[in-house]
Structure 1
């Protein structure tokens, strides 16, 4: 089987390389040439003077037939090639148009977004410059102007949840500060009342001790029952005083913490006014440039409808 395959291959090569005569339309003749390669438009040949490429359209009709060339087939082939090139050109043109359309759309979107950002910053700046400063229930600072607001952020370390006014989602910063002052005054008053109560208990304890000593001196003997009663009363009084001291210390600590945070809130309100005045005078940029040296963390800036409060 292998020998048969090699024999057929040798016959095919011999036929392909067999010598042929080719006549050209201009009168030239190529005798006993060997066809090395065949293309749709012509053949590469080996002749006595070397290697040459002969075009089918320049050959005589007999030579064309001898080499298996058909003008109709060539036209059909050229038409296929041309159609394929045209289809490719149309596809490339369509792709270019799509890319151009897409780039045009992107450019328009970029311009629209740029204008939108400019308007958004202008709106935010307008709210910042003309709105009122509020504190929300989530400890965020909010500048409110009409039906819109600008959220400046919040700081859990700066504000206290005790400053939040009950049943009130947002409140003017001045009202919140006043509420904080009232809260601190209330705690100070409670401390004063507890201290007064502690003093009363202590004085009553001393009075009990004095009464017992006086009775003993008058009678000239020691009443064991009276002494035991006095000691029991003193032990109870000391327990009351100890409890009052703990409560007073707790209130004093709470008051000190609230006072520090109230000072921070007052400073924040002052910084807000300073930033706004600075922006009015210098017109040096947007909000972040005006408050970048502030110790208060303006953590976020959100532009939305007031319905989000």
Structure 2
């Protein structure tokens, strides 16, 4: 996942301590003009290079897959309490980039001001240079803090491969979605913290003709009407629309899930609208209790009846054909 390997963002105080302590060591190894020059050069290099690394560690959001772009934007809108989301992060990174260039410039500027032959005067100029660098770092203290918070918030996003064929399951709670995901997934279900819910997103995998498929359950998002979700949760649903290749919508005609069939149908209509052109396969689960609803598939996860047929229907609805190496 593109955000999981982002390095920890240092604070301005940490960077200043690192820069000035190494500058002091560099100065002790020399004397006179060369000592002051080395201290200015070392401190400006450490500050400028480290700040530059903070900026370049982030991906170019213009090339990020739409799924992760929208999801990251939603996370950052919540984290920053700022509707600009990713654009707010870009602004913070821009300020840090400015500071990276400025600290490099200050190193060159104050090296050029060093008078030769007067030790006290040279030390005074070097201290002035240090003070200016410290002032620059103070100006971006909040920017570094914001970038650090953004990194911490984004590194926990669920690992969903937007390029892999993906089945998204939806429907009210207790209609059997998680049981189905567990039943059809050959690998252990991966549960990751989801940035908008108190529950974890579940991602299972299975293989069809040597192609690895993903099946995703999103408790807390696609299990209730849009008007019960906040704006950022709805944006997360929009992000899922970029990753999903087919929707399996579960209905419980027996209503033992605790929700009226009329409400379940209304939610299905909402999900179909939100996911636009993504195929939607309607599944009547708990068919051993009731089949009194129009559906594309009827099954009972509890009894193991119709499970494989339902999975096959989802795969067929996608019509996924992998690109062979000689076709690229």
TM-score (norm 1): 0.29
TM-score in terms of structure 2 length: 0.28
Q: Which has more radius of gyration?
A: 1
Higher helix share: 1
Question: In proportion to residue count, which structure has more strand?
Answer: 1
